[in-house]
Amino acid sequence: MKDNVRIDKWLWAARFFKTRQLAIDAVDNGRVKIGGDRIKPSRIIKLGERLDIDNGSDEWEVLVVGISDQRQSAPIARTLYEESEASIARREKERERRKFFHEPGTDIKGRPTKRDRRLIDRAGE
């Protein structure tokens, strides 16, 4: 384990993003913050820092408790951070909401037909 690890590499190693490039893009777009402040992908991560992470599907609020620059299995990656209770509750609530919400376009495969378009238009009224 190193103690001089870039934030983008740590986010990738902790499995918040599938690739380092996705982690870099998220940091550049302000979806990863430390203490509410935007950061750069080259910033060095330190133990005890509180991160706000939005990876597109979930929003996390975590405390850094371990530092690694190698991507390993998910159980090991979970030891690199502790998620706050509020964050856990918020993600669970969001998961429940998604479970009961039917996405309108999931039944349509490929380009909508004339009939599909009419059904979509009718649902929007």
CATH number, domain at 23? 3.10.290.10
CA–CA gap between residue 42 and residue 29 (Å, rounded)? 14
pTM: 0.76
pLDDT in tens, the chain (125 residues): 567 899 999 999 999 999 999 999 999 999 999 988 999 999 999 999 999 999 887 899 999 999 999 999 999 999 999 999 999 999 999 888 877 776 666 666 778 889 888 888 888 76
> How many domains would you assign to the chain?
2
Return the pLDDT at 104: 66
SS3 assignment, position 28: helix
- Strand pairing of 50-54 and 37-38? unpaired
Return the pLDDT at 49: 94
Both 65 and 91 in a single domain?
no
DSSP string, 55-105: -SS-EEEEEE----SS---HHHHGGGEEE-HHHHHHHHHHHHHHHHPPPGG
Return the pLDDT at 107: 65
Both 102 and 56 in a single domain?
no
- How many helices (H) and strands (E) the chain has is answered by 5, 5
Both 79 and 115 in a single domain?
no
Return the pLDDT at 123: 82
**42: how many CB neighbours lie within 10 A of its CB?**
11
Q: Look up the domain containing 98 and give its range.
A: 85-125
Unique residue bearing structure tokens 């039917």: 102
